[in-house]
Structure 1
Amino acid sequence: MQIWEWSGPITIAADIAAWFILHMSISYVFTVLPERWFDGLHLTASGKELSFYDRVLHIRRWKKRLPDGAGWVGQNFRKQRIEQNDTAYLHIYQREAYRGEWCHYISILPVPLFFLWNVPAVAWGMVVYALAANVPCILSLRYNRARIVRILQRRGKAIPAYLGKMEEDPLMD
């Protein structure tokens, strides 16, 4: 339900400013949340799940085009691709991908605010934007986490991090 009615340019400026502030604020909050909140939360990965990502969503074709917003909010750990093959790195990646996944889920939640100052057609466009800007990132992060789970399962999960580099895994890109 639209409460405020502004001119077109002011509404556009409010939409852009609101999304920018929301995205940056939520992203920043997630960078400072304790690591322990995201540790130990592991996805199970089946061959069917990975097959769905590869064969139905064709995720390998488009996931590399997604931006990695980690640098925009001062986070050093990049999640655009799995860059190392050692077990310690994979556990960190899994945690940080889970953190990023939740950041994108939460970034969708403020979309009802846009119904306060936009006409319904534009407000529904904001819903489409929120989903388009976040769902592909969620899928990419889930896909990479599932790949990591498969790698760790093949290694027996209990391999100590201090062992360093492991043999190359065919799931690594």
Structure 2
Amino acid sequence: MPPLSFPVYWTVSIDIFAWAFFHVIVSVFCLKLPLAYFLQDSVWFRILAWEKSGKLWQQLFRVKRWKGHLIDGTAILKKGYGKKKLHGTEASDLVVFAAETKRAELTHWLSMVPAPLFFLWNPVWAGWVMVLYAVMFNLPFIIVQRYNRGRIDAITARTNRMGAGLFT
């Protein structure tokens, strides 16, 4: 029995409202973080060798097939950096795009954090459904951000190697 108990109608209503609230609050918080934070090379966002510059995500999940169907949060909040397409092909454009994938990834990781709170007013089985929802809703977005950033990192690394060879 949860610490708080409500009729089913109210429990479902609270769940819907709570998820909407948490998603918006986390999104607004992440939008307020300065771009400079995401331009840093942080261990939290580093693409790891086993991800093969994002190729692993394509091999495992066929990301190219479905990533275009995901909703970009900027369409809902009317703020932020849209990631449906590149905003340019210059090196600086790619760096900003990669930084914004970090912002989006952080947003989706943090959006899962409130899931245990749902055990306060839901039966245990429904609390686990809320945890499952949090993972299943956010994981595709995280995978797409890591896929895109891995590809961008590979392009910028290749460009840097080619540029370094031209000027040395």
Q: TM-score, structure 1 length as denominator? A: 0.84
Are 1:87 and 2:91 counterparts? yes
Indicate the residue corresponding to 2:19 in structure 1: 19
For 1:89 and 1:77, the matched residues in 2 are separated by: 12
For 2:35 and 2:127, the matched residues in 1 are separated by: 35
Shift of 1:86: 1.5
Matches within 5 A, 1:23-102: 23-41=23-41, 43-44=46-47, 48-102=52-106
Deviations along 1:93-125, one digit per CA (max 9) or x if unpaired, are 011110110010000000000000001111111
Deviations along 1:61-114, one digit per CA (max 9) or x if unpaired, are 111111101232232411133353221111110111101100100000000000
Between structures 1 and 2, the one with greater helix share = 2
Give the counterpart of 2:126 among 122, 125, 143. 122
Indicate the residue corresponding to 1:104 in structure 2: 108
Name the SS for the 2:104 alignment partner.
Answer: helix
Give the counterpart of 1:140 among 144, 148, 152. 144
Shift of 1:151: 0.8
Range 94-103 or range 55-64, more displaced = 55-64
Check the 8 A contact 1:82/1:93 in 2, yes or no.
yes
For 2:108 and 2:16, the matched residues in 1 are separated by: 18
Tell me, which stretches of 5 or more residues in structure 1 are unaligned? 160-173
Percent of paired sites with the same residue: 31
Range 41-50 or range 132-141, more displaced = 41-50
Check the 8 A contact 1:66/1:80 in 2, yes or no.
no
Q: TM-score, structure 2 length as denominator? A: 0.86
Shift of 1:138: 0.3
Runs of 4 or more, structure 1, over 6 Å off, are none
CA gap 1:121/1:104 in 2 versus in 1, 3 angstroms: same
Amino acid at match of 2:40: G
Shift of 1:157: 7.0
For 1:55 and 1:33, the matched residues in 2 are separated by: 32
Aligned CA RMSD, in angstroms, stands at 2.0
For 1:123 and 1:142, the matched residues in 2 are separated by: 28
Q: Give the count of matched residue pairs.
A: 159
For 2:4 and 2:35, the matched residues in 1 are separated by: 40
Check the 8 A contact 1:82/1:144 in 2, yes or no.
no
